[in-house]
């Protein structure tokens, strides 16, 4: 797809295109692949994905179409974590698709990243009915899977996408406004909280804050 067609496609869906405000003076940022010390790393990912697909640890297994394991570069330095699959994700088996996913892609492009360069996962691997908020027992049931994904990936920075993901990952009830703009830590890994793209689609005036979050995350990444 050429650039003009891509822009027309996004405009037709009502999604603004995010572009960097300033062209970086340095060479384009690239994602460095991690050198794994485990020769069976790929098999570990395959085994974990199979475990997720067969999981019956909570009642969500009864209503899902399929599990949503995660997608992206399994050697990425950036890990994005959302809350749970929605209807589109449940049908397609991939996190952050549809309009919210398209906007997330543009948010990444704004800081020089392609979707294929990062890894994207959710706290929950199954869709809650009617897209309701995840329950504590569901988060607990999936937590082991997420921790294994983090351990296999060994990212240099984590983006908690949206309030619910941020509060659960950081084990806090503080509002998103208090969590933004601060460098947190998750098991020794820098974590930055950003707005969920679905929220931005409903609150266009908040995009300036989202841009600030992305710049803040990039500045932290460049120091690690």
The domain that holds 153 is classified in CATH as 3.40.470.10
The pLDDT value recorded for residue 40 is: 77
**pLDDT value of position 205:** 86
User: What percentage of the chain exceeds 70 in pLDDT?
Assistant: 83
Asked whether residue 89 is assigned to any structural domain, the reply reads yes
Q: Which of 163, 144, 140, 120 is nearest to 59 (CA)?
A: 140
Number of domains making up the chain: 1
How far is residue 120's CA from residue 92's CA, in Å, rounded to a whole number? 14
Say how far apart CA 201 and CA 103 lie, in whole Å.
8
Q: Give the residue among 159, 193, 200, 165 at the shortest CA–CA distance from 179.
A: 193
The pTM score is 0.84
For residue 24, is it within any domain? no
Instruction: Please check whether residue 118 lies inside any domain of the structure.
Output: yes
Whether 36 maps to a domain, the answer reads no
Mean pLDDT for all residues in the chain:
88
Q: In this predicted model, what pLDDT tens digit does every residue of 196-213 receive, in sequence order?
A: 999 999 998 888 889 999
Range of the domain at 69: 41-221
Per-residue pLDDT, averaged over 96-112, amounts to 94
Within-domain flag for 31: no
Helices vs. strands in the chain: H and E counts, helices first? 9, 6
Tell me if residue 216 falls in helix, strand or coil.
helix
pLDDT band at 26 (very low <50, low <70, confident <90, very high): very low
Which residue in this structure is represented by tokens 């996962």? 121
């Amino acid at each position: 797809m050429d650039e003009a067609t891509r822009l027309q496609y996004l405009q037709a869906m009502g999604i603004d295109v995010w572009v960097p405000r300033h062209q970086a003076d340095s060479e384009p940022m690239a994602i460095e692949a991690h050198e794994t010390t485990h020769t069976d790393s790929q098999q570990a990912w395959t085994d974990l994905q199979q475990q997720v697909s067969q999981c019956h640890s909570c009642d969500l297994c009864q209503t899902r179409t399929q599990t949503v394991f995660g997608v992206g570069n399994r050697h990425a330095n950036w890990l994005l974590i959302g809350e749970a699959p929605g209807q589109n994700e449940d049908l397609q088996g991939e996190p952050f698709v549809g309009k919210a996913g398209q906007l997330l892609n543009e948010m990444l492009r704004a800081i020089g990243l392609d979707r294929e360069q990062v890894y994207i996962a959710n706290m929950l691997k199954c869709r809650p009915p009617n897209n309701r908020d995840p329950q504590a027992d569901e988060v607990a049931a999936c937590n082991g899977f997420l921790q294994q994904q983090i351990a296999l990936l060994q990212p240099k920075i984590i983006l908690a996408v949206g309030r619910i993901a941020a509060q659960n990952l950081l084990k806090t009830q503080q509002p998103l406004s208090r969590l933004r703009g601060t460098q947190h830590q998750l098991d020794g890994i820098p974590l930055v909280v950003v707005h969920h793209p679905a929220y931005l689609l409903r609150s266009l005036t908040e995009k300036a804050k989202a841009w600030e979050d992305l710049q803040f995350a990039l500045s932290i990444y460049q120091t690690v």
